[in-house]
Amino acid sequence: MAGAKTDGRPDIRRIQVIANPASGSVGPNVRGEVEVILARHDVEAVIHTTGENRLEDLLAAAVAAKPDLLVIIAGDGTARAAGEAAGPDGPLVAPLPGGTMNMLPGALYGTRDWKTALEDILTDGEVRPISGGMVDRHAFYVAAILGSPALWARAREAVRLGRVWLAVQRARWALNQAFRGRLRFTLDGERREKSEALSFICPLVSQGVDNDIAGLEAAALDPSSALDVFRLALSAAAGNWRIDPSVHVTICRQAYCWAGGKIPAILDGEPVSLDRTALVRFRPNAFRALVPAERTDP
């Protein structure tokens, strides 16, 4: 575990790195690029690249080594998995921006690329406790969306891969599924309600509540037409759920959802298929991140 320097900064000596050369903005030379940066700091590091073993095995081995810092240079799914593997009592985690959407890395490191972010946290990093949520066994730290608008994630992924016709087919499928089955839910055990979809926004990025709030910002999404669903999909991609006129926001610590079939979901930008029922829970102490120190102007 990382100790603390006399100025309160964590003392980082032992590092485990997991990088995905095939992910978004990483590239095949990632191992050498990481080594160049680490050579400027007094640290011992073990660097793994995905493809050596299953991701789950790499994460388990990295956490079991009890490093001071676990560095992730990969996509959103790997960033989520690293936070879950470390937990509140494990090593500090640095989920650097290596993917396409970079939802969690963007919330923690802003517009920095992964090389700049790594240099900054090793030079002058500080610990930031991260809260989040769980949907059944799946963790999220930025936002989750449950319901038919989540089907647009598959169309978006096809666009990212340059498969335009597939994107069109998936967009048609998403539109056809809208309004075929409403999502039923209850928030914190209150009255039962229904909507086209639900989103849950974590304190890390919530613009509507204080960052120290002990709960998730829950938004019931209730579009009245296929055009509204399309607008919501665009709002979701831009992170602007709250300003949409069909969104109703409240704060909750737990939600129970159910539907007539499997519930589509997006967790921190990654599509997930849930069962017909889902339990959403707030996690006040999910993991600890290493982020660049906040600077105040003199």
Q: How far is CA 289 from each of CA 64, 114, 285, rounded to the nearest angstrom?
A: 18, 15, 11
pLDDT at 279 over 80: yes
Is the residue at 282 inside a domain? no
Q: What is the dihedral of CA 247, 250, 252, 258, to 10 degrees?
A: -30
CA distance 178 to 298: 53
Question: Coil, helix or strand for 223?
Answer: coil
Structure confidence at residue 234 as a pLDDT band (50, 70, 90): very low
Domain that holds residue 88: 3-130+287-292
159 and 108 within one domain? no
Extract the tokens encoding 222: 């209730």
Pairing of strands 270-274, 263-267: antiparallel
pLDDT at 178 over 90: no
In the predicted model, what is the mean pLDDT of residues 276-283? 94
The two tokens of residue 153 are: 């994630």
Residue 95 has pLDDT above 90, yes or no: yes
CA 196 to chain centre: 22
Look up the CATH number of the domain holding residue 263. Answer: 2.60.200
| Residue 62 and residue 126 in one domain | yes
Q: What is the pLDDT of residues 182-232, one digit of tens each?
A: 789 999 988 898 887 888 888 887 655 554 568 898 888 765 544 455 455
Q: How far apart are CA 44 and CA 35, in angstroms?
A: 10
For residues 128 and 17, what is the distance between their CA atoms, to the nearest angstrom?
Answer: 19
| 85 and 167 in a common domain | no
Tell me how many domains the chain contains: 2
